[in-house]
Amino acid sequence: MDGVLRTAIRVTAVACLIALAHPLCGQGVDRELAGRWVGHAEVEGRWRFVRFDITLAQGGSSVEGWIPAEGLGAVAGSLNPGEGPGLTIQLPGPDGEWRFEATTQGDRLNGAAITPSGAGLFELSRSMELTAEQFDPLVGTFGLPGETTLLLTRWRTVDYIFIFDGEERLRLHPLAPDRFYSERGDLVYVVRAADGQEVGLAWQNRFGLEFFYPPVEVYRQEEVVFEGAGESLAGTLFLPPGEGPHPGIVLVHGSGADTRHAYRPVAHRFAQAGFAALFYDKRGTGDSTGNWFKAGLHELAGDVVGAVEHLGRHQAVDERSVGLWGISQGGWISTIAGAESGAIAFLVPFSGATVSPAEQELFRVANNVRDLTGSEGLVDITVKMEQLTYDFLYRAQTSRALADKPWLPGIDMQYDPRPDLARLESPVLALFGELDSLVPVGVSAQRYEQLAVGEEGASGRSRVAIIPQADHGLLLSATGSRFEVRSERRYAPGVWELTTGWVRAIADGTEPPLPGAGVIRAAELPAEGLYPGRPSWFGRAPVQIALLLLFAVTFVSCFVAFPLFALIDRWRGGLAARTSRLRFAAWVVSAWNLILLIGFFVLLMRLWSIAGAEVAEVGNLPRLLTAGGAVAIVGSLLLSWMTAKVWQEPLAGQFFRWYYSAVALAALLLVPFLAYWRLLPFSPV
């Protein structure tokens, strides 16, 4: 018997080891695959950039795919390991599935690509991650006399690496510390001498043609530190050739944690046009002190004024000709700085809104939801959600108890730029993209056009231009949507010619050029729908929070009320037993309403992701919620009728009467709450 037992134990142990070994082997293959893979697929003679991001997940691996030429970006796919080094990656597409039958060979992934339009071959290489310390020594300008210069730089983090070639910018993926693959199929690498010193940049396109660009100095570069509004700010100054004095320009950040790196290409542009260009790390980023998240628009404008004063004191700069260029949020900041400082000679806002930050954000999130879902009902829900958020932020920022909380941003979402616009005395060149989905271009351009009215002084030199087929960054776009997938970007024609020509004329004191014939006027754009920055009284934070607390406390209490009712029933001699049907109805209605509220919060979270320009699905949840809202109406009416019967007949004591009345009232109040959020059948999403 002992021998049989020992044999059974051994067999069981071997079986367990085999069972454990199988997933471990699979996980070993997955672990080798984990990371970013970039390359191309060629199907039916057409070249396409392909990227896979493979990550380890519980019980296997997950993969996201990018095929920009097919409009696919961050598409969740499936990865199925095969025998040996083989595997299959499948990506869903609008016209059918893309399947990649691959084999792995070290840092190479290649095989057959089977697509809805035919079959072909693909080849990918593993992309590595670089630190700022690894990449920053490579940053520089390269070119040959008489040819377009190339600029190797990065944006915010090293995850975004771009090379600029004239009007074009490309995203690069590092294959090695000094070798990169572009999303156009170019191979870009640093050429070094025998002693390891960098001697230039090589550019090899996918057709095999190779070009060499040595470093070129088209401007001098200085690292600077200056005082902003109570913070020490670090930046870089590009100075054109010659002693000067040169006109100057300070580059003003957009929203978020912007470092100076995002603005090197713009500074490059202005330096080539003869301007001393200063760009710096926003407070709390890079080498600057402070906290950008807690800073308000006026504090950020104070930083800009500090930059203007510092630039004006430079011996190579004409202090009377220092202006501002700002993108997006930089439009508000530039307007405040220009209204408060007499040292600013001109302003060049790119896509600068002239509505409040709340109105601009509501416009943005509405377009995001509209682009992804096509549902005006979901747009309305998202707008109300954002209005509620901004109302809460407004009240929190004006509260002494909450103003210093680290989670509370410093930006005043209700800031109205119109009074500061009216105070501007400096000329303005305001440029917008026709397809901008973040900013209400028509309204903003019209308000800037009011500054351009007049024949003398600053107003007579102001210009407004809406660039056709351009998005928020003044880059060419097919739709302007935040969800449009593109592998290469190019500035819209004429953007920089108009910009540099206008600032040059202002600096020289000559008549600035008028926008070309191709630009669009605000009156030619279709009417835009703006949403007020603060909601109606019913949608404001105190009302909505009070209702949600009432629903939570009242409906949840029904789940603990049954044992309590039983105790009270026995204590009162069984009088409450005569309301058992009402107790059961109150429990069912409360349970249903709680499920409905949970579904509502799930919907809000999904819409929150879409509002933030992240792809998310809402599925059939809106329809389920509106159907649930119809049941909630019936339940609230039934519960109210049964509660009225309790008051009409001596079926229970005062406690039960008032408790059932509170539950019925909460159920009734849920109906206008759901109607406000468009979750009833007569207000479908």
DSSP codes, 137-158: GG-EEE--TTS--EEEEEESEE
Query: Which tens digits make up the pLDDT trace of 272-286?
Result: 999 999 999 999 999
Give CA–CA dist 671/667, Å, rounded: 7
∠ CA 473-478-481 to the nearest 5 degrees? 60
**Residue 247: inside a domain:** yes
The strands making up 220-227's β-sheet, listed across from edge to edge, are: 220-227, 232-239, 276-280, 246-252, 317-327, 347-350, 429-433, 463-467
Contact 332, 415 (CB under 8 A): yes
Q: Which residue has the higher pLDDT, 251 or 534?
A: 251
What is the model's pLDDT at position 597? 95
Q: What is the pLDDT of residue 653?
A: 61
- Choose between 167 and 533: higher pLDDT: 533
Query: Which residue stretches of 488-579 are H helix?
Result: 495-508, 541-571
Sorting pLDDT into bands at 50, 70 and 90, what band is 158? confident
Give me the CATH number covering residue 228.
3.40.50.1820
pLDDT at 421 over 50: yes
- Beta strand ranges found along 577-672 (DSSP E): none
Confidence of residue 198 (pLDDT cuts 50, 70, 90): confident
| Counted domains in the chain | 4
- Give the DSSP per-residue string, 61-106: EEEEEEEGGGTEEEEEEEEEE-STTEEEEEEEETTEEEEEEEEEET
Question: pLDDT confidence of 223, banded at 50, 70, 90?
Answer: very high
User: Which CATH number covers residue 62?
Assistant: 2.40.128.120
Check pLDDT > 50 for residue 267: yes
Question: Comparing 136 with 27, which gets the higher pLDDT?
Answer: 136
State the pLDDT at residue 571: 64
Q: 574 with 603, same domain?
A: yes
Q: What is the pLDDT of residue 282?
A: 96
User: Considering the domain boundaries, does residue 400 fall inside one?
Assistant: no
Helices (H), 350-440: 357-373, 376-397, 418-423
- 558 falls in which pLDDT band (50, 70, 90)? confident
Are 61 and 159 found together in one domain? no
Q: Report how far residue 565's alpha carbon sits from residue 549's, in angstroms, rounded to the nearest whole number.
A: 23
In this structure, are residues 93 and 59 in contact, taking their beta carbons and an 8 Å threshold?
no
Cα distance between residue 534 and residue 652, in whole Å? 45
Considering the domain boundaries, does residue 428 fall inside one?
yes
Question: Are 582 and 646 part of one and the same domain?
Answer: yes
CA 50/CA 109 separation, integer angstroms: 11
**pLDDT at 26 exceeding the cut of 50:** no
Which among 197, 213, 229 is the end of a domain?
A: 213
Is there a single domain that holds both residue 544 and residue 629? Answer: yes
Give the pLDDT of residue 12.
Answer: 37
Q: What is the mean pLDDT of residues 208-216?
A: 90
Measured N-to-C along each axis, helices 580-611 and 541-571 cross at an angle, to the nearest 10 degrees, of 150
**pLDDT the model gives residue 8:** 39
Check whether residue 173 and residue 236 sit in a common domain.
no
With CA atoms as reference, report the closest residue to 175 among 163, 186, 165, 164.
Answer: 186
Q: Is the pLDDT of residue 488 over 80?
A: no
Give the strand pairing for 276-280 and 246-252. parallel
Give whole-number Cα distances, 97 to 64, 401, 615, in Å.
14, 55, 19
Task: Report the C-alpha dihedral over residues 212, 213, 215, 220, rounded to 10 degrees.
Answer: 180
CA distance 277 to 269: 9
Q: What is the pLDDT of residue 486?
A: 78
308 and 344 Cβ atoms separated by less than 8 Å: yes
Same domain, 569 and 622: yes
> Is 232 contained in some domain?
yes
Please report whether residue 369 resides in a domain.
no
The identity of residue 657, as a single letter, is: R
Which pLDDT belongs to residue 58? Answer: 67
Last residue of a domain, one of 166, 182, 213: 213
Write out pLDDT tens, residues 529-548: 899 999 999 999 999 999 99
Q: Residue 4: CB partners within 8 Å, gap ≥ 6?
A: none
Task: Grade residue 16 by pLDDT with cuts at 50, 70 and 90.
Answer: very low
| pLDDT over threshold 80, residue 664 | yes
pLDDT beyond 50 at 9: no
Whether pLDDT at 252 is above 90: yes
Asked whether residue 549 falls in the same domain as residue 658, the answer is yes
Q: What is the pLDDT of residue 17?
A: 34
Pairing of strands 220-227, 210-213: unpaired
Residue 293 CA neighbour count, 13 Å, CB half: 7
The pLDDT of residue 587 is above 90: no
Cα separation, 490 vs 476, in Å, equals 6
* Confidence (pLDDT) at 518: 82
Specify whether 248 is located in the same domain as 285: yes
pLDDT interval class at 557 (50, 70, 90) = confident
- End of a domain among 524, 558, 592? 524
User: Band of the pLDDT at 618, cuts 50, 70, 90?
Assistant: confident
State mean pLDDT over 176-195.
Answer: 91
CA distance 122 to 65: 14
Q: Which of 581, 567, 552 is nearest to 663 (CA)?
A: 552
pLDDT of amino acid 639: 87
Same domain, 225 and 279: yes
| Domain of 667, in residue numbers | 537-676
Q: How confident is the model at residue 14 (pLDDT cuts 50, 70, 90)?
A: very low
Tell me whether residue 452 is in a domain: yes
Considering the domain boundaries, does residue 390 fall inside one? no
For 533-548, the DSSP string reads SS--GGGSHHHHHHHH
> Does the model's pTM come out above 0.85?
yes
Higher per-residue confidence, 225 vs 579: 225
What is the number of other CB atoms lying within 10 angstroms of the CB of residue 517?
Answer: 5
Strand, helix or coil for residue 279? strand
Average pLDDT, stretch 289-300?
Answer: 95
pLDDT at 285: 92
Q: Cis bond leading into 245, ω under 30°?
A: yes
Per the CB < 8 A criterion, the answer to whether 658 and 648 are in contact is no
Among 339, 353, 154, 162, residue whose Cα is nearest residue 261: 154
Mean pLDDT across 241-261: 92
pLDDT score, position 373:
86
Quick one: how far is CA 192 from the chain centroid? 38
pLDDT band at residue 31 using 50, 70 and 90 as cut-offs: low
What 387-391 contacts at long range (C-beta under 8 Å, 24+ apart), as own/partner pairs, is 387/358, 387/362, 387/531, 387/532, 387/533, 387/534, 387/535, 387/539, 388/535, 388/539, 388/540, 388/541, 388/544, 390/358, 390/361, 390/414, 390/533, 390/534, 391/534, 391/535, 391/539, 391/540, 391/541
Q: For residue 412, what are its two tokens?
A: 């005043």
Judged against a pLDDT cut of 60, whether residue 582 lies above it is answered with yes
165 and 110 both lie in a single domain: no
> Residue 171, Cβ neighbours under 10 Å: how many?
23
- What percent of the chain lies above the pLDDT cut of 90? 53
Determine the Cα angle at 365 with ends 360 and 368, to 5°.
Answer: 130
What percentage of the chain reaches a pLDDT higher than 70? 88
Can you give the pLDDT at residue 532?
93
Tens digits of per-residue pLDDT, 403-413? 888 889 999 99
Does the pLDDT of residue 617 top 60, yes or no? yes
Residue at 86 is within a domain? yes
Phi and psi (nearest 5°) for 457?
70, -160
Residue 511 zone, left/alpha/beta (φ > 0; ψ -120 to 50; rest):
beta
Report which of 327, 354, 329, 368 is spatially closest to residue 440, judged by C-alpha positions: 354
CB atoms within 10 A of CB 60: 14
Asked if residues 351 and 438 have their Cβ atoms less than 8 Å apart, the reply is yes
Domain match, 554 and 461 both: no
Asked if the model's pLDDT at residue 4 lies above 60, the reply is no
Distance from the Cα of residue 630 to its chain's centroid: 36
511 and 474 part of one domain: yes
Crossing angle for the helix pair 654-676 and 541-571, to the nearest 10 degrees: 150
Indicate the Cα dihedral angle 321, 327, 328, 330, nearest 10°.
-40
Running DSSP on this structure, what letter comes out for residue 260? G
Q: Give the Cα separation of 421 and 399 in Å (integer).
A: 29
- pLDDT band per the 50, 70, 90 thresholds, residue 32: confident
Could you please report the per-residue DSSP string of 435-462? T-SSS-HHHHHHHHHTTT--SSHHHHT-
State the residue for tokens 């191309």: 40
